[in-house]
């Protein structure tokens, strides 16, 4: 049995090696390192895959979120509602742009932002909602879009963990995560479901004016070289990364399916363990298991983690602390007990190894050790 890792990027590289190597070498031979042809090809291929009108690549998923909020011309003091249970990048960009960060609790079952909590947080100064499709499963987009229309708000989907997940509307039609709101953002960080070999990101939109703005501000506010129409930033996807992503995009559905079948195995094994809650599967979303996240009694979680470590099984806590208690965000002024769901989740969640190359033997080993911890 190979050593167990949270994410096994080496095994994946070994499988794709000839294609990846030749893609990288051909970029080096062309020397078109910035805005080379692979960048445009990748954007076209992603457009097709995502079923969206415009794809704008950029340097990482955090920049993608920042570019989205810049393109919507939000002004300092405008309120942006997002979830307290997410990676820091989601809230960071709101704060960086001088917007007023309004955080709310997620649903305890799906881990995704609570629509009820959004409703309660909307004020006359609210301008945007940023739902995060956490751990590979979509937030309740149809309800969020209805709220947004009613209150005239923008919706920016943080789809960094959900590349390839389908949102299923009440009428049965489907759209890819990230293509439902005004703008969707994603990350190609190596461990994401579609990851490159460094940093990378992209934005999706069906609005042509927004797409033009994003293209401009991600490249110094230029539409024509050395003519600056907007105050922009330097946030471009490297050609080498685009070339790697073009190879990996072809396998994305297969990889996501492999994650799902590993998750099915976990689910089946843990469903009857009274101390564990397996991840909820929302009726309105496919799940691509960026993370496989269990809940266990708050008192037991850290012990379980230590026990697994002693068996050479890594596990991770996403996320260990609510954002409103982080030093950098104390000035928001939220009281410590303002977010009971987030606070509890931070004590209960544990993510197990999850990637497309999990071996049967590894899964069996992880499962039997988790179960033996609880039957001790």
Ligand X SMILES: *Cc1c(COP(=O)(O)O)cnc(C)c1O
DSSP assignment of 66-86, as one string? HHHHHHTT--TT-EEEEESSS
Query: 60 or 351, CB closer to ligand X?
Result: 60
By the rule CB under 6 A, 62 interacts with ligand X:
yes
Q: How many residues bind ligand X (CB under 6 A)?
A: 15
Is 342 near ligand X (CB under 6 A)? no
Is residue 222 within 8 Å of residue 232, measured between CB atoms? Answer: yes
Axis crossing angle, helix 298-310 with helix 360-374, rounded to the nearest 10: 130
Touching ligand X, residues 185-224 (CB under 6 A) = 187, 189, 199, 201
Candidates 9-17, 29-37, 83-91, 251-259: pick the segment binding ligand X (CB under 6 A).
83-91
Q: Does 293 bind ligand X (CB under 6 A)?
A: no
Closest CA to 39 of 236, 175, 263: 236
Q: Give Cα separations from 233 to 155, 196, 200 (angstroms).
A: 22, 22, 15
Please choose, from the candidates 229, 227, 240, 289, the residue with its C-alpha nearest in 3D space to the C-alpha of residue 262: 289
- Determine, following the binding rule CB under 6 A, whether residue 157 of this chain makes contact with ligand X: no
Nearer to ligand X, 60 or 112 (CB): 60
Closer to ligand X by CB, 57 or 239: give it.
57
Quick check: 110 binds ligand X (CB under 6 A)?
A: no
In the bound complex, what is the minimum distance in angstroms from residue 353's beta carbon to ligand X?
17
**Residue 109's closest CA among 287, 372, 235?**
287
Q: Could you tell me the smallest distance in angstroms from the CB atom of residue 241 to ligand X? A: 11
Q: Indicate the residue whose CB is closest to ligand X.
A: 61
Contact 142, 170 (CB under 8 A): yes
Using the rule CB under 6 A, which residue among 144, 160, 217, 354 binds ligand X?
Answer: 160
DSSP 202: E
Residue 292 is a binding residue for ligand X (CB under 6 A): no
Q: Is 238 in the site for ligand X (CB under 6 A)?
A: no
- 158-166, 228-236, 243-251, 339-347 -> range binding ligand X (CB under 6 A): 158-166
Least distance from ligand X to the Cβ atom of residue 63, Å: 7
Of 158, 238, 348, 357, the one binding ligand X by CB under 6 A: 158
CA dist., res. 106 & res. 139, Å (int) = 10
Most distant CA atoms of the chain, gap in Å: 69
C-alpha 277/C-alpha 314 separation (Å) is 19
Alpha-carbon distance 218 to 66, whole Å? 10
The nearest distance, CB 279 to ligand X, in angstroms, is: 16
Question: By the 8 A CB rule, do 357 and 258 touch?
Answer: yes
Q: Which spans of this chain sit near ligand X (rule: CB under 6 A)? A: 60-62, 86-87, 89-90, 132, 158, 160-161, 187, 189, 199, 201
């Amino acid at each position: 049995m190979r050593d167990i890792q949270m994410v096994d990027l080496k095994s994946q590289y070994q499988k794709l090696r000839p294609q990846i190597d030749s893609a990288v070498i051909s970029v080096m031979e062309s020397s078109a390192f910035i805005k080379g042809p692979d960048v445009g090809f990748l954007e076209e291929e992603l457009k097709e895959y995502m079923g969206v009108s415009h794809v704008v690549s950029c340097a990482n998923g955090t920049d993608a979120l920042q570019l989205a909020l810049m393109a919507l011309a939000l002004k300092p003091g405008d309120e942006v509602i997002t979830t307290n249970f997410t990676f820091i990048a989601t809230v960071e960009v709101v704060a960086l742009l001088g917007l007023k960060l309004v955080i709310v609790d997620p649903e305890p079952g799906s881990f995704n932002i609570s629509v009820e909590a959004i409703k309660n947080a909307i004020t006359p100064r609210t301008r945007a909602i940023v739902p995060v499709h956490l751990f590979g499963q979509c937030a309740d987009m149809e309800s969020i879009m209805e709220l947004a229309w009613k209150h005239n708000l923008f919706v920016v989907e943080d789809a960094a963990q959900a590349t390839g997940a389908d949102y299923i509307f009440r009428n049965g039609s489907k759209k890819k995560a990230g293509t439902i709101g005004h703008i969707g953002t994603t990350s190609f960080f190596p461990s994401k479901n579609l990851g490159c070999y460094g940093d990378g990101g992209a934005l999706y939109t069906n609005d042509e004016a927004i797409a033009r703005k994003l293209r401009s501000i991600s490249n110094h506010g230029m539409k024509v070289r050395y003519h600056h129409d907007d105050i922009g930033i330097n946030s471009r996807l490297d050609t080498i990364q685009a070339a790697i992503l073009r190879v990996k995009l072809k396998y994305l559905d297969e990889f996501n399916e492999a994650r799902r079948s590993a998750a099915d195995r976990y689910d089946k094994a843990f469903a009857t363990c009274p101390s564990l809650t397996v991840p909820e599967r929302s009726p309105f979303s496919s799940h691509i298991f960026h993370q496989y996240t269990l809940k266990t009694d708050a008192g037991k979680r850290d012990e379980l983690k230590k026990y697994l470590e002693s068996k050479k099984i890594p596990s991770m806590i996403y996320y260990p602390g609510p954002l409103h208690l982080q030093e950098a965000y104390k000035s928001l002024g939220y009281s410590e007990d303002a977010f009971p769901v987030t606070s509890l989740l931070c004590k209960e969640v544990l993510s197990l190894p999850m990637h497309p190359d999990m071996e049967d033997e590894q899964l069996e080993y992880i499962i039997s050790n988790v179960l033996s911890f609880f039957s001790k």
